[in-house]
Amino acid sequence: MTDQPGTCFKFTVSTAEEAAALIRERLGPEARVLSVRNLDQGGLSRLWSKPKLEVIAQLGESPTADTLAEEDGDELELPDYAAGPRTASPAVTAQSTRPTRLPLRRDVDLCTLLKRSGLSDLALGRLQAARFWADVESAPLHRALVDIGHNIQKQAEARWKGARLRRAAFFGSPGCGRTTALCKWIGLEVFRHARTGHVVTVEFDRPNSTGTLPVFCEALGVPVARFPAATEPVMPGGFVYFDLPGISLRDAAANRPIAQFLDAEKITDRVLVLNAAYDHAVLRSAYAAARDLGGTHVVFTHLDEVTQWGRLWDYLLDGALEPLFLSTGPSLTGDCERDVFGGLVRRTLAADEAAADFSPAPSSPAMAYRA
C-alpha cells in the first residue's frame, strides 16, 4: 500500500544538504519539512563526532503535470536554523536510508497530551492554576506546548538564581545514589568552577559506606575526613560537603540525629538525593522526610533508567526544593543535566514520540508541527 499524503517520515543525516537531497529523492518535490533539530552527542564522543540532524518531513499531494513544469528545478529548502557546516560529509547514516514513519496526528486536547507526557493530575492541576494557563489553553497545540515550557522555565529562573553552595549536606534513602551524586557535584566544582575544599563523612549510630568517594576525591585533590573534623572551609572561597548516612522513610525518630547534627553545625544547605526510578510512593516519602529535615535542594539520579521523565514535574512544580542537577548516568565526572527545567521541557512537553500527536522534539515554535 502506497503512503498517503500527509504521512510523516523521520530522517537522521549529517548536513542540511543531505536532508534536502534525501527528501527530494524519497518523498518528491512536494514534501514539506516540519521539524529539524540537532541531536546531542553524549559523553566525550561529542568532541570528535560529526553533528547530526533529525529531520521530519511530510509527504505532500501528488503534483500535476503543470505544477511539475512550473516547479522544475526548484530546490527543497530547509529552515535557516538547520544550516550546518558546508563541508562534504559521509553518506547518509543507515537510519536515514530507512526513514521512520510517524503516524498522522489525531485530534487531541492539551490536557491529554500533557498526561501522555507523564504529568500527573497533581502536576497538571498546578499548571492549570497558573496565570498563563488561560492563554495557552485556547492556543494551537504546538504553540501551547512551547508556551507552557517557556513559562515554566521563566518562573524557575525567577525563583532560583542558581545554586552556589559553600557548606552543604547530601542525604537520601539507602540506594538513592547519594555518594555518586556528591562525586558529580564535586567534579563540577573542581573542573568547571575551579573551586577546592574538603568532604566530611558522618556515621552516627549507623554505618555510612563511602564507596568510591575517597578514591575519587583523592584523584581530584579533595581531602576526605570522618566526623569529627573541620566543618568550615579551610580557605576563602572553598567548600565543605557532608556525606550523611541514609535516612529512614518510615521512622521519623530515626532521623533525629541527622537533624540535630545539621542544626548543631549550622548547615543551612541541605541536598536531598532522589532515585527517579523509584515508585511515586517512595519518592513522596523521601521528599516529605527531606522537608522535615529542612531540605533546600534536590538532585534526581538514575534518569538513564526512567522512560517517563514527566513524573518529576510533581516535585519540581512544588517549588519547595531548588533542583541542582539531573544525573543521567553512572559516570562520576559527567552524565549531568544542569539545566533541569530545560531538560525536562525538552523530554516531556516537546518530545513524546509515544503519543504520536506532536513533533518528537521541537525546541522552538518553528520546529513544531502545525496545528
Kindly state the cell numbers that stand for 137.
489553553
Whole-structure pTM value: 0.63
Q: Positive or negative CA dihedral for 229, 231, 237, 243?
A: positive
Residues ≥6 apart with Cβ < 8 Å to 62: 5, 28, 30
State which residues of the chain have pLDDT below 50.
Answer: 1, 63-77, 80-106, 351-371
Domain limits of the chain?
8-104, 107-371
CATH class (in words) of the domain with range 107-371: alpha beta
Query: Rounded to whole angstroms, how far apart are CA atoms 312 and 30?
Result: 41
| Chain segment 228-239, per-residue pLDDT in tens | 888 999 888 899
Query: Rounded to whole angstroms, how far apart are CA atoms 190 and 136?
Result: 42
Reported for 228-231, long-range contacts at CB under 8 A and 24+ positions apart, including other chains, are 229/198, 229/200, 230/198, 230/200, 231/167, 231/200, 231/265, 231/267
| Chain segment 297-341, per-residue pLDDT in tens | 999 999 999 888 888 888 888 778 999 999 998 888 878 888 888
CB atoms within 10 A of CB 121: 10
Residue 208 has a pLDDT of: 74
Beta strands in the chain (DSSP E): 8-13, 32-39, 52-58, 100-102, 167-171, 197-201, 224-226, 239-243, 269-275, 297-301, 322-327, 336-337
Residue 265 has a pLDDT of: 94
Residue 355 has a pLDDT of: 36
Residue 108 has a pLDDT of: 66
